[in-house]
Structure 1
Amino acid sequence: MKFKKLFILVFLFSFLFLLPCCHATSYPGEPTLVHKISTAEDLKKIGTEWPLNDAYDLESDIIIDSDTWTCIGNFDTPFVGMFEGAGYSIIFEGDISFVQTSDLENEFDGYGFFGNTGGAAKIWNLTLVFNGNIANSQNNNVGTLVGVMNNGTEVNFNPSYILNCSVKGNGSAIYGKNNVGGFVGTVFDGAIDSSSSDIIVFANEQNAGGFIGYIDTGNISNCSAIGASQSNNSQNKFIGGLNENNSYTDYNNSYNVVNYPEYPQTEEIVCYEYNLRPLVFALILLIVIIIIGAVWYFKNRKT
């Protein structure tokens, strides 16, 4: 009887090793504080009074009537937090110029609502509306939503991504120098899904794209661009919906659709890590217990 009880206890104990085999882990750099955004003044606090790695939830449509907008994030200090648009719109009422906060202009500074985004940045369910032109004709890496999108040093399972966002130009145009996009100016790495842009794009020199001005590598899925693209450089061959100059990025059709693993669309962004060692150990232990139990059973059966 004692052996039988010991057998049952060891059998149940073996299942404890199965628990760590699959567990949910928050993404590195996940924000610890969520800020509610309902006014233009709230937006201006991102990167000044509020950190660039926190989470932000838009709670209403916001109208911006200024003629300049200070980009959220730059090359040295990119936005690496989360921005939930919740289906609301940020509306720029007139002509606008994006300005950067860095004292010394960096060639990789971006110009857009978000200047530069880093590896942990997540932006979704947001609409930008432009009722005037975007005047950044002397700047590189100019986009409406993001100037420069980059994964930075983040690990592969935690990419920078934009999901379900749109840009509406209402006949307006965006002007830049090089790498000018109707959605993102330059993509060095990252993923964009289910997003669209409808704005006219002009580049004074090279790389004008209705959706992305220049892309190095990334995953673009279910996205579309409507609006003419034009460059003043007659030698420029990179004009169109997406810049197709890099073999690391594939485009399947006229809407520039490629497949990539779906990302969660909820506020809780979770990654699942799998560790097989406890599972293997538990299975071996279970087999040993079964063998011992079988030996004990047949031994007692004979007696």
Structure 2
Amino acid sequence: EIEKISGATTHRMKIAYTLVGKDYRGVMGLDEGAFNKVLAQELVEGSFPKGENEALINELWVDDFDGIGSEVTVNNPKGPKHNLKIVGVFKNSSGMRSGLFMVNPKTFAKLNPLNTDLLVTLEIKPDGDLEKVRSEIEKIIEEEPTLTVTNNDEFVQLQLNQLNQVLWLVYGLLGLALIISILGIVNTLVLAVIERTREIGLMRAIGLTRSQLRRTIRLEAIMITVLGSVVGIGLGLFFGIVIRAALRNDGLTELEIPVVQLVIFLVVTAFIGMLAATWPARRAAKQNILAAIATE
């Protein structure tokens, strides 16, 4: 029914994950208009697959196959295998579409019997009315609560909102981990003070002042937090690089290291370590010198 709406051109995009050759990869079914205008992809070589059993591949995959003219076997989970002929190579770009085979809708229907749409976009014609088209779409899908109608700006905002929800969840987990780490630092310093009670008493006896003792314990806490942060950042960068390399063919092609944020994080952790040392340092400074020296 959506395709019958006047004033707009309909583009459908479908996606399925299946065994392509020896690896699991995504296969996207779309028409040439969706390729050029919706995804705004660019051909590096060859042409868009207009015939059946033809496919486009990402330029990152050229070394994995024999290039244009070669064939690749795609497994149909509920049917026979299909051999697709590679007729074009599209330019790599960021996003999950970078890790997809692209075929036309007819070929996709053969590969995936469900043939369900991932996304349906409508390109408003020059003489079309945006609000009228939107109203007609909303009437068609009013009995489908899982479907929503968005324009470009709303779609971008929707994706950002979903991403922000995930980020806030991650921030919440990081906050919880931060609280646990602060308690761990406090506990470690308290135990260190108890174990070194006699040494603290001896240092006080030979002239160490309360302020110097508090400063020493604070510096110890700062060293613990900064060292832990450096190790954590190093491990995070290592695993980030490894994951990015492993998922390069699935669209994760960009690697960005936020140096400024990491430096700020180190400064903040040092400050947190200093705060965490406040109570243990105060407790150590209040100890009676003679009682501390007499401790076994």
Tell me the TM-score normalized by structure 1: 0.25
Which structure is richer in relative contact order (CA contacts within 8 A, separation 6 or more)? 2
TM-score (norm 2): 0.25
Between structures 1 and 2, the one with greater strand share: 1
Structure whose CA Rg is larger = 2
